Structure 1
């Protein structure tokens, strides 16, 4: 078996956690930064809330590009600290994860071109940029592709970047019409009640840099398993989602991780965001995976701090898992689960890096 890909560096930014270190603190404290939306008013004439940066700029493609550059700037510093100047001599490939405009109305028409252009001039000198579109699970699908690429080119640097800022007026309206916007009121009711469930939309960006070879003791974490699957029952279906697709993806990733040694899952990072559909899915999945879980396993819900980051969420969750991996025991595993509005489901297993043990001092 090939060595596990190493997560050499990571970056994450959202309103209550503008850097990876602060993002980790915000998730642990469940600290959010919610504001009234400056443009969208629901059917009852009330402003809805979102998690977005307090900058005076419209929710257009340029804003997405600004977030992408901010995440890559953070990643550049992190990569240089991990790999020094060696990184600039490695082939660099970027997987750019953005929403699927066919499934999410209201996105800027020039989104892909604008963001692609903004990342061209970054110091990584990309050999190739791979555009990747999808929802919450798309980032994990891109990570799996990056891992497969490193099995062929272990010396390369594979970067996965996810960006999200879908808070324009039309995008908010679409969420409202799907009953997915938390707190929105519907005017056709005699006494409008706020939507008790649904998501609070957020904006942010995250990036993860993987490589196949680093000096022993370097790197944040190891990617021990990655898998995707299709879920037959989506949010738009009539039936109850029992997590068949998510379970399949998670079980495959966990079985891959077993090839790198014994270990149990001590933490599950999931994209639960207030929707009953996702809660049902996660509950059934966790029950089926009980044999892989440590007795005192914990659940982490980053959306409580960041809002729903949609296409950037799974990359952000992997970055957060990698940040804490060095503090975990060698046999501890972190499982990142990603659902989506579309049928795609994803799962990755994060493990601690290979550590260099201190040698006993010998005096002559």
Structure 2
């Protein structure tokens, strides 16, 4: 499909209303659609989303001028309208809401209505993309039965005491953590996502809003009773075996209990407003990898792996993530609270993996962080531009 670049259709009667908003026929107000994303620009406002998030489109109009001219928020469904005339427009629907009207991305819209010059052409193009993604978006693992209200309430009630215990563990464990940090580059990009795994629910790293953090957490295990494969089998059967249970739990949302397979979905529950839904992308004998889903505080991937090495085992966690929104970037990167919570959570997971293996830590937990801006800068030399292979 050829990329589309459609300008808005302006009605001269409303130019005096739109001009103070920075929306004129020469301001670049337009809709762009290609094989990768939809972009709507309207003065100081913009809406951008990957094409796999397009659920459909329909023609709309005529409209009432007070309800369509300029940027408008629908109080009924929180949809956003960017209007320049009252004749015709296109209502584009999304699988998952996207930000648009306010800069922090806290307000999200399930759809956008635009009054472009060729609404029929735009509606047909959006429908073509939507038809491609409906097949993958609707192909998900079966829902997993969830615990009852009593069990959920008991889990929430343990959080206050859990936070105190978690803080004590964080202070005690910090002496056993060796941290290093350096500037990253394009070689820190995550593994390429298989095309068949992409759907509207996946939140890929391009949808983030801050710097890329490529972090590794590794621990050596000696005197273990289990090998790498047996350790990963035991962890995959119940992820809560290795999670810091005082504040964190892995609740399975899709897929069968007692196993971990590609397509299964979990939510990482925490006593904070950033519980993280994830999907299993890959599982082999000694590793598995998650990708973030919509509503996760971050956007990216994380891999858990064990290896048989001389003298024992090595267990590691590798994360490639960006903050999922501008507000998340403040929490995760500017203030750094989220970064420290992540460090505590995954170092405790490494400690618990030693216990599951029946061994003990051999040396410190090594935490290495490579931080780079976005887009990730290329590394000078022949290795520039390479992504980690899938």
TM-score (normalised: structure 1): 0.23
- By percentage of residues, which structure has more helix? 1
TM-score (normalised: structure 2): 0.22
Q: Which has the larger radius of gyration?
A: 2
Larger RCO, structure (CA 8 Å, separation 6 or more)? 1
